Amino acid sequence: MLQARSQTQQVLLWRPLVADGCSKVTCISLTQEASLQLSTLHGQQISIHYLDMTDCFSLEDEGLRTIASHCPRLTHLYLRRCTRLTDEALRHLALHCPSIRELSLSDCRLVGDFGLREVARLEGCLRYLSVAHCTRITDVGMRYVARYCPRLRYLNARGCEGLTDHGLSHLARSCPKLKSLDVGKCPLVSDSGLEQLAMYCQGLRRVKKYSISIY
């Protein structure tokens, strides 16, 4: 596990990553000021595939842009509770890291529908998406994901209070390979929406609603 909390540590830790091609970084907290110092890497790339930045509260859009530009081979990225990230951060992510298969944005409460539009640019690569408690997300954003990410297998939308049966309808018709869905604490999702999922997503094995697993 590699952790960096101070600004000095953040900069120094990236240099050996470039040289050694580190395959796994667990957690790096990167402020906007530190990301500017990382410009000294001059476009050098780091060959990592898995990056977990859960609870890196100081991570901002510019910091994620810097990380994405140096880590184009990322396939698994976890940004749970990175509360300063906005939709703009996801634009950089989709631009620089087109191979992401698993993405967690849980509790990134500044992320909304425009952010999901950028996530949808990952298209057929995306298999796992968590946007739990991203309360700005509505059916509009979910429609982007459904339309462009047909291979999605796992979706956690718990606490997305703007999600309705219409959003589930888009998912049901466009993401037939969906296997697991969490729509707990989504008050506008009803049994009607869940029935559409059951009809179109024959491989669905687990649905969470009403604080219990239905399947």
Average pLDDT over residues 38-59: 78
Please report, as a single letter, which amino acid is at residue 119: V
Average pLDDT, the chain: 85
* pLDDT number for residue 38: 52
The angle at the Cα of 100, spanning 66 to 150, to the nearest 5 degrees, equals 140
Look up the CATH number of the domain holding residue 15.
Answer: 3.80.10.10
pLDDT tens digits along 3-22: 444 443 444 455 555 445 44
Measure the CA–CA gap between 55 and 106, rounded to whole angstroms.
10
3-state secondary structure at position 88: helix
Q: How many residues does the chain have?
A: 215
The number of beta carbons lying within 10 Å of the beta carbon of residue 73 is: 14
In three-state form (DSSP H/G/I as H, E/B as E, the rest C), the secondary structure along 130-155 is ECCCCCECEHHHHHHHHHHCCCCCEE
Sequence-separated (6 or more) residues with CB below 8 Å from residue 68: 74, 92, 93, 95, 96, 97
Q: Which pLDDT belongs to residue 57?
A: 87
Domain span at residue 202?
3-213
- The total number of structural domains in the chain stands at 1
Q: What percent of the chain has pLDDT over 70?
A: 78
Q: What is the Cβ-side half-sphere exposure of residue 43, based on CA atoms within 13 angstroms?
A: 0
Res 47 pLDDT > 90: no
Q: Quick: pLDDT tens for 153-208.
A: 999 999 999 999 999 999 999 999 999 999 999 999 999 999 999 999 999 999 99
